[in-house]
Structure 1
Amino acid sequence: MTEKREYRTEELAAKAGITVRTLRFYRERKLLAPPRREGRIAWYDDHHLARLRTIAALLERGHTLTGIAELADALDQGRDVADLIGVGGPTEEEPVRLTPEELAARFEGQVTPENLATALELGYLGTDGDEIVHISRRLLDVSAALVREGIPLAEVLAAGVRVRAHADALAELFTDLILRHTTEQELPRLRPLARSVVEAEVSLALDRRLRKES
């Protein structure tokens, strides 16, 4: 087990590469959680250090302190990742762990408080200590690829809201169908069949759409 480190104000500032005055300014702006107090001594830990390094990385990418504060507030309001994916529940998706600056790098300039709040509300993102967890590597990679193609992240997320509604309806349809003829224990075994039907129908629908547009 890793021993928990704690730092006095001067030591934390030195490790983060900032001045004590800057550290105190960040505290006043509520960019940092309050330190642990022991008399007149303020004690910080590795979570504070990670947040300071994130602030530095986001500032380098052009984010303002106001924007960073809004991002931090959105993350602080986000659900714990365990609430999103459960413990030991069935899933075929691979979660991805990211620091806030790694997420910003994936969607250069488009990780705004509004987009972050939408992703958190959709359940794409959860928090785990100082890390962000995206619930699906496939969705993360596809979203990043669409943004690289010039589609704004806000529109990708708006499409995700609509897709979620259709996906939930399809999942309900197949679950009801299977449970009418088999048992709940058969659902994990038969879910690939449901996924194959959906993938084939989307592929055929895209064929029809492309022919119509050509």
Structure 2
Amino acid sequence: MGIQGEGTERSADRPREYRAAELAEAAGITVRTLRFYQERKLFSPPRREGRIVWYDEHHLARIRTITELLARGHTLGGIAELISAFSAGRDAGQAAELLGLSEPHPWSEEEPVRLTPEDLAAYYGSESDADNLAAALDIGYIAVDGDEIVHLSRDLLESSSAMVREGIPLSAILRVGHELRDQVDTAAEAFTELMRRHVLPEALGPAAGADGPVSEEDMKRLGETLGRLRPLVKKAVYAEISLAFDRKLRAELHLSEPAEDG
């Protein structure tokens, strides 16, 4: 059953889907523009169900990428060539340079990994197509610096590519990553609030909250405090996810176990 303005409900084997008007609204464009992009073959054909046409989250990610590229001054013709280059593996270095939509976050504790487009293909094989590239850009997993693609987390790169080798489609992994973003942000906000209430006042000293700049001594003390607390927070979050994963797996295995005799 469709949900107006939010697409159809997602099933286990298919991402959320949208009618043309719903997709256009979610992407911030008009239906006429959507049709024009489709005529220019800037994204893969939608799924047809009788007379109804359904678009999915990959189409939404692609349109958002097109919008970003247009905002950076690229023409639709150039964007079409870019997409073709990534799809066919031609002129990949130039294509990667054009896709510089955002910069890596230098403050992140995660280790970024610099890759050529060929390196990225080595990690994901045939899964490193234009649709998945657009989805990864939309989530923020990858950015571009010159001729190199920067994956923002070595852990995410290695774990996701390993899951692909286990047979999980990259599109499905990216979809889960997109769904997790809000939930992870909520958890991060909860721990940030704990620090705001119980750690920052002491770490920054009695002058915290004043209009003046924070002193170098305060920043050093804060850095040392966060250096101790961040690993603890990550361990707590990992443990909660691990326990939840165990619960879900036990429930799934119990449902699939054959009934015992007697």
Report the TM-score range of the alignment, normalised by the length of the smaller protein. 0.5 to 0.7
Runs of 4+ that moved beyond 3 A: 68-75
Distance in structure 1 (CA, Å) of the matches to 2:165 and 2:97: 24
- CA 157–71 in structure 1, closer or farther in 2 if over 3 Å, else same: farther
- CA 161–72 in structure 1, closer or farther in 2 if over 3 Å, else same: farther
How many pairs does the alignment contain?
A: 152
Aligned to 1:85: 105
- CA 70–121 in structure 1, closer or farther in 2 if over 3 Å, else same: farther
SS at match of 2:157: helix
* Aligned mate of 2:140, from 107, 123, 129: 123
Distance in structure 2 (CA, Å) of the matches to 1:102 and 1:113: 15
Distance in structure 2 (CA, Å) of the matches to 1:210 and 1:149: 17
Aligned to 2:88: 64
Aligned to 1:38: none
Contact 2:117 2:149 in 1 (8 A): yes
Which runs of no fewer than 5 residues in structure 2 stay unpaired? 1-76, 204-221, 254-262
2:122 maps to a residue whose letter is: A
Shift of 1:84: 2.9
2:168 maps to a residue whose letter is: I
SS at match of 2:149: strand
* Aligned mate of 2:198, from 178, 181, 190: 181
Q: Deviations over 1:90-136 (max 9, x none)?
A: x3311111100111121111111111011112111111111111111
1:131 maps to a residue whose letter is: E
Distance in structure 1 (CA, Å) of the matches to 2:92 and 2:148: 17
Distance in structure 2 (CA, Å) of the matches to 1:128 and 1:70: 14
Q: TM-score, normalised by structure 2?
A: 0.52
Distance in structure 2 (CA, Å) of the matches to 1:204 and 1:169: 18
Contact 1:71 1:112 in 2 (8 A): no
SS at match of 1:107: helix
Distance in structure 1 (CA, Å) of the matches to 2:242 and 2:78: 49
Q: Deviations over 1:16-72 (max 9, x none)?
A: xxxxxxxxxxxxx969x9xxxxxxxxxxxxxxxxxxxxx7xx8xxxx537xx57996
Contact 1:100 1:131 in 2 (8 A): yes
Identity %: 46
Shift of 1:206: 1.6
Q: TM-score, normalised by structure 1?
A: 0.62
1:206 maps to a residue whose letter is: F
Aligned to 1:76: 98
- CA 163–71 in structure 1, closer or farther in 2 if over 3 Å, else same: farther
